Each structure stands twice: as C-alpha cells, then as structure tokens.
Amino acid sequence: MHLIDNPARKRILLRCAFKAASLLPANQRMEPTEPDVVPSARGIGRQLIRTLDHFARAKMGHDFIHYEGGHERFNDFDLWILRHFFVEQSRALEVTQPSEDTTELRKFFEAWDWLGPGVMVGTDFSAFISRSHARWQLVFQLLQRAGDRIAEFGDDIPLSYLEAHINSPTAYCTAAQPTKRFLVDIGRICRLLGEHEPSVV
C-alpha cells in the first residue's frame, strides 16, 4: 500500500506531524532532551541524582515504541507523560465514538507502564492495531487529538498541570516541560506507524 498516494491519509499524516515541522537536527532527535524529572529514593533509590539550576534532576533512561518490526527510541519519562494525554484523549474518543475499537484503544494506552529508568512496557502498537486498517486510522486520529491538546498549552506544559496529573511519589517533574519535545515525539510515532499501512479493514 502507498500511504501518500491517498490524499485523505496524507492529510492525516501531515496534520499529525505538522507540529513537528521545526524538528531538531537528526542527531538530537535520536537523543531527545531529558525532562526535569526526579525519581524518588523509595522508587529507584540507586538512581544517581544531580543538581541543575537549583533543581534536582536525574538522568532518565530510554525505551522504544514498536510497530511491525520497526521501532523508535524515546526518553522513557517522556513516554510516561505522553501516556497521560493518550489515555485522556482515548477516553474522550470512547465517549464521542463508542465502539469496541475505541474501548480497546483506551485499554491499550492504560496498559502502558513505566517501571523505572529504561523500562517502559506495553508500547508495541502492533498489539492494538493487529493489522486492522480501521484501528490504524483510529490511532492516527488519537495522536492528532493528543497533539492538539498538548499544543493548547503554548510553549510549555505548566508545572502546575504536571504536578496535578503526572507527578507521583516515585517520579516527578520539577519544571515546566516544553511542548515542542512532545509534539516532535508524536510526529516520530506517526512516521513509524506510517511505514506499515495495514490492508485488512
């Protein structure tokens, strides 16, 4: 299948990736900027902590998004933050477009779990899409919604929002996080999924 040959599907990809138009240089995209995140001693006590601009900051790990044998490497705590927006928007989709697929999409994202530095589980999109074209399109719709939601914050996701919705006793942000990084991440997920368009409806 040729994704770009279909104008409607091309628009899905372009809309999903347009926020990532100002992509960082390729070498930086492979090593995303680390968020200002502190793992607690109780959660991962052996993680070394350093200070930066009067904030304690830890060097987090990296893990992968997988799809049909391909993968993209991400900062693992970035994936955890993205999970929040993916779950939020999948729940909204389940309300506005109730179906078995939207319910399974919500369950797929809720199953993502960050176990510690470098250990993010449940992120193989093949498990949800299952070579279904309808589910593949649904994921793009979800990614677009999540990107729109993140873009609403402007330049940064406020620390107050992160404290209310992301931070936990085991890991937490100590500063506002730039939206650009997460929009670039969503664009990279779109690119990965766009490499294998299912033929099964």
Question: Helix H segments across 20-69?
Answer: 26-29, 41-44
Mean pLDDT of 89-103: 97
Query: Which of 12, 117, 124, 26 lies closest to 68, judged by CA?
Result: 124
- Across the chain, mean pLDDT equals 79
Smallest CA-to-CA distance from 12 within 167, 165, 179, 193 is with 193
List CB contacts of 53: < 8 A, sequence separation 6 or more. none
**Confidence class for position 41, pLDDT limits 50, 70, 90:** very low
pLDDT at 172: 83
Of the candidate ranges 11-25, 55-69, 139-153, the one whose mean pLDDT is the lowest: 11-25
Percent residues over pLDDT 90 in the chain: 58
d(CA 179, CA 157): 6
Q: Which of 2-16, 93-107, 155-169 has the highest mean pLDDT?
A: 93-107
DSSP track, 10-32: HHHHHHHHGGGTTPPPHHHHTSP
pLDDT at residue 37, rounded to an integer: 53
